Amino acid sequence: MDQPSGRSFMQVLCEKYSPENFPYRRGPGMGVHVPATPQGSPMKDRLNLPSVLVLNSCGITCAGDENEIAAFCAHVSELDLSDNKLEDWHEVSKIVSNVPHLEFLNLSSNPLNLSVLERTCAGSFSGVRKLVLNNSKASWETVHMLLQELPELEELFLCLNDYETVSCSSICCQSLKLLHITDNNLQDWTEIRKLGVMFPSLDTLILANNHLNAIEEPDDSLARLFPNLRSISLHKSGLHSWEDIDKLNSFPKLEEVRLLGIPLLQPYTTEERRKLVIARLPSVSKLNGSVVTDGEREDSERFFIRYYVDVPQEEVPCRYHELITKYGKLEPLAEVDLRPQSSARVEVHFKDQVEEMSIRLDQTVAELKKQLKTLVQLPTSNMLLYHFDHEAPFGPEEMKYSSRALHSFGIRDGDKIYVEPKTK
């Protein structure tokens, strides 16, 4: 049978991991690994193969000599073949079947949708635990075929495959813990629920960038569909209702949620988004990648009560009443203006004169002297100023430096400014 045109896996392997490009490395698990074979290979002594092979974007179209692959790759556990030109599952099978300890395989961005995966080929993937098929346009029929032949598969990546629907398999994949299916077009919950049927042991579900518009499922049904789900990402989904957020409480083991970039939260401030979501999800311990501490949870729940305290009863969420039971009805927080005071009413004392006046606190001592020049009939160069705060323990403070701003003296309403002429 003629080899497909293009570069072979074995050809690229020999080129990339030759001593010139990949020098010998010492240490456990590093450097040359050449199993003994009767016939041997002229290239064997020249290759330095690690257990993790990265052969992405190399123009690979076919496997090459299977005996060579078997001789060099017996110890390989991870293989990255992404962004090549592999379009025949039979050629992929030739590679994988000769890598007996393979656990991780990345076939992303290969045009494998151009061929049909046969069961005999799918069987060669049986030891793989992590499989990446991003942007491969793999059909659901292909995915189901692989799932049936991969009894130990734990992580599956199906991003960027243009899925608008999910085809449900009659056989459940009990081993799968993580499903990464971002950047597709799965908008209806009827499609997402099929994933729960197919993967009952799912621990992590990454659904970002799918425009999911709602979670339409009874609470008890959600618990049955995803009984082991611990983490879910709905980043940049189309959720627009607080009822959808409340639905997340129906997943019995949910601990981690990602909800950035959803339409529901756009009208709220950054503080409101985080606190209102935390308050609605009492079991979640990590939100958008950040741990929710006990202190933050209490602050968020108290914030939630105050946020809805003046909302009509018919519009108050159920969670509000639960938190009222926990904390009681809280009064709104007092509004405190923390902006610096811009002016002050002070008493200006000069000899026997006392004049009450308003002064700007953003001006300097020199500018204040100019303001007082007419009042005290002294030139600014012959003027000494003292600030007296009745609460200060050390008496009046001389306002020595002409360029110093008045607010730095802590001047407040009711303070006194004493003006004295310089003595010659």
Question: What DSSP letter does each residue of 175-189 carry, written as one string?
Answer: T--EEE--SS----H
Q: Running DSSP on this structure, what letter comes out for residue 88?
A: -
Contact present, 101 and 127 (Cβ < 8 Å): yes
pLDDT for 5 equals: 59
Using the predicted structure, report yes or no on whether residue 389 has a pLDDT greater than 90. Answer: no
218 contact partners, CB below 8 Å, separation of at least 6:
none
pLDDT for 73 equals: 95
For 96-114, letters b (16+ CB in 10 Å) and e give bbbbeebbbbbbbbbebee
For 40-54, letters b (16+ CB in 10 Å) and e give ebebeeebbbbeebe
Using the predicted structure, report yes or no on whether residue 31 has a pLDDT greater than 50. Answer: no
Sign of CA dihedral 239, 245, 250, 254: positive
DSSP lists the bridge partners of residue 364 as 405
Contact present, 95 and 67 (Cβ < 8 Å): no
Using the predicted structure, report yes or no on whether residue 42 has a pLDDT greater than 60. Answer: no
Contact present, 163 and 139 (Cβ < 8 Å): no
pLDDT for 40 equals: 43
Own/partner long-range contacts of 5-8 (Cβ < 8 Å, ≥24 apart) = 5/61, 6/59, 6/60, 6/61, 6/62, 6/85, 7/58, 7/59, 7/60, 7/61, 7/62, 8/60, 8/61, 8/62, 8/63, 8/64, 8/65
Q: Which residue has the higher pLDDT, 352 or 37?
A: 352
3-state DSSP helix/strand/coil percent for the chain, to nearest 5? 30, 15, 55
Integer Cα distance of 196 and 229 in angstroms? 9
Please state which of the ranges 31-45, 113-127, 299-313 shows the lowest mean pLDDT. Answer: 31-45
Contact present, 257 and 287 (Cβ < 8 Å): yes
Q: What is the pLDDT of residues 2-20, one digit of tens each?
A: 444 589 999 999 998 876 6
Distances (CA, A) of 363 to 387, 403, 409: 15, 9, 12
End-to-end CA distance of the chain: 114
Domains of the chain: 47-327 (3.80.10.10), 343-421 (3.10.20.90)
348: three-class secondary structure by DSSP = strand
Q: What stretches of 160-218 show up as alpha helix (H) in DSSP?
A: 189-198
Q: What is the pLDDT of residues 209-233, one digit of tens each?
A: 999 999 999 988 999 999 999 999 9
